Structure 1
Amino acid sequence: MPKSSTLPWPAAVGLGLSSLLLTGCVSSVSSASDDERPVVLTTFTVLADIAQNVAGHHLVVESITKAGAEIHGYEPTPGDIRRAAGADLMLDNGLNLELWFSQFVETVDVPHVVVSDGVEPIDIAADAYSGKPNPHAWMSPANVQIYVGNMVDAFSELDPEHADDFATNGAAYQQELQAIQDELVAELETLPDKERALVTCEGAFSYLARDAGLTEVYIWPVNAEQQATPQQIAAVIEYVDENRVPAVFCESTVSDKPMQQVVDATDADFGGMLYVDSLSEADGPVPTYLDLIRYDTDTIIAALTGR
């Protein structure tokens, strides 16, 4: 989640952009090759992978941020501006995830599509962000089917000649997403009501918890600007203890030390690390979005059911 409601535009970016525009050196990310396919630029790696599955070989799909990068407070560079200015379409998640992106879009004259359009948002329930939409909608396989539909429409407008292929690719990918959701729901339906809880460090799993019929519990609602407070940890300890929650989790991009305090104070096991904001490198555990969502659902199922 964003760490502030406004993010300063780095001076280096402004200077770099001015220089690029004055010298006329802005060019496509693919200008070094003879590739004439349209270029689609996404804000982060998860969207890039989903988009690639829809695009097939008809479009060049790339991410502004790299694998493992923090998306919420990212600061664009002059190199990012060069890439964007040469793109034919940009995709962002929306739901206040990329607060830096509004400034980014104003800088270059490239159309963009918000892929979460049509998703029913779940509001953040606590702290300074209370009432604002939780941006992690891609953690729901059902929501990503909406993302895919928006991408099919956008790509078909961008490259009408291959619209049928985009539709076919999108439908096949949506079937895979539905299969993962069906497995998640089926595997967890036998859990006792009190144990049907997904306890994590950050409140990034609202949509997945909803899909699986789980109560979402977290130490902090958004990326913590400082260490978790004793009151936050105590509240989670009380919930886990009273409801005999069998396992708790933490996200791969934050320290699990606060959650380990919950483990030490209760009978719950540490169920493992979960991935949210970024894919891994190709040789890592979650190189694709389907790998990410399967990894997380398998980890949650194994820890909560003991299987």
Structure 2
Amino acid sequence: MRIRWLATLTGTLALLLAAPSDAREPRMKVATTFTVLADMAQNVAGDAAEVVSITRPGAEIHGYEPTPRDIVRAWDADLILWNGLNLELWFAQFLDNLKDVPSVTLSDGIDPIAVAGGEYRGKPNPHAWMGLDNALIYIDNIAHALATHDPANAATYRANAESYKARLREAIGPLRDRIAALPEDRRWLVTCEGAFPYLARDFGLKELYLWPMNADQVGTPQQVRAVIDGVRQHRIPAVFCESTVNNAPARQIARETGAAYGGMLYVDSLSTRDGPVPTYLDLMRVTAETIAAGLEQGDG
């Protein structure tokens, strides 16, 4: 594996040396491990820094395998931001193949929720950015990281962070209140992967899912049967599935229980600019609206 990475790096260096010498702008360059973090960081950076995502829109982050183009995007970065909490298992080796670039873990300060089952039982669920309260911590961590490595623009980063947090509260707060207003017995979130414990905690939802996290065996007959039983027992009105996994098991559960298939939820990745969730704020808004609409079916 190490030999393959060294060969890849040699080819990458050739690409970099062939690039125009004046291609890079004089702003600080920040690389993030995936698109959600890139958008959050760009909102904090504004025009003061350049932000790129190592992975592309729509990528499945857990088992990601970096490519030579990923190395090119990150090679001249001044700072790398990553999630941590065992999400980017590929990141340590990726970072080893770059020059001496400082990195910052954005989940620092988060109160982690443990994975409830499967091979990751007891380890922290990494999807902490899906809770609004946690997102505010991420933004503060980003602002601090940018200000530390680019003190000349520290005031800009702090002001942008406060403005961005206000926009998130304004957009997501009413949706959280909308879900909290539902009868308690309807406040169930049924998904394919257990990627929403932080959102569920923030929104007062109970969870039911097919597999806990990033499992090799997904949507097995045993998993489907257990969720079917749970949906029937609690008379749950809707089931959902994440955008990066196969939704066939969730649709089967809906058919067999009479629940609605409530739609697609977004977690690990943004869409392209012309897609439904080109920003993190869109991701949170669309996901919360989809959940609220699904659970309101038949209410009253």
User: What aligned pairs does 1:280-299 form with structure 2 within 5 A after superposition?
Assistant: 280-299=271-290
Q: Does 1:277 align with 2:271?
A: no
Residues 34-82 of structure 1 deviation map (CA, whole Å, 9 limit, x = unaligned)? 5111100000111100000000001010000111112111112233333
2:9 maps to what in 1? Answer: 17
TM-score, normalised via structure 1 length? 0.91
* Partner residue, 1:197: 188
Q: Which runs of 5+ in 2 are unaligned?
A: none
- Hey, what does 1:188 align to over in structure 2? 179
Q: Is the 8 A contact 2:277 2:283 kept in 1?
A: yes
Which residue does the alignment assign to 1:3? none
Of the three residues 107, 129, 139, the one matched with 2:120 is 129
Q: Say if 1:30 and 1:125 are closer, same or farther in 2 by CA, change over 3 A.
A: farther
1:78 aligns with: 68
Distance between the aligned counterparts of 1:60 and 1:29, measured in 2?
18
1:65 paired with 2:62, answer: no
CA RMSD of aligned residues (A): 2.0
State the identity %.
53
Is the counterpart of residue 171 in structure 1 residue 189 in structure 2? no
Report the CA distance shift for 1:34/1:185 in structure 2 as closer, same or farther (over 3 A): closer
Provide the C-alpha distance between the structure 2 equivalents of 1:27 and 1:83, rounded to a whole number of angstroms.
14
CA contact (8 A) 2:210 2:218 kept: no
Q: 2:235 aligns with which of 241, 244, 247?
A: 244
Task: Identify if the C-alpha distance between structure 1 residues 195 and 28 changes in structure 2 by more than 3 Å, giving closer, same or farther.
Answer: farther
Cα deviation, residue 159, structure 1? 1.4
Give unpaired runs (5+ residues) of structure 1: 1-8
Aligned length: 297
Native 8 Å contact 2:191 2:209 kept in 1? yes
State which drifts further: 272-281 or 73-82: 73-82
- Answer whether contact 1:199 1:218 (CA < 8 A) is retained: yes
Q: 1:83 to 1:284 in 2, by over 3 A?
A: closer
Asked whether the 8 Å contact 2:118–2:215 carries over to 1, the reply is no
Q: Residue 110 of structure 1: which of 89, 101, 110 is its match?
A: 101
Whichever residue aligns with residue 201 of structure 2, its letter is R
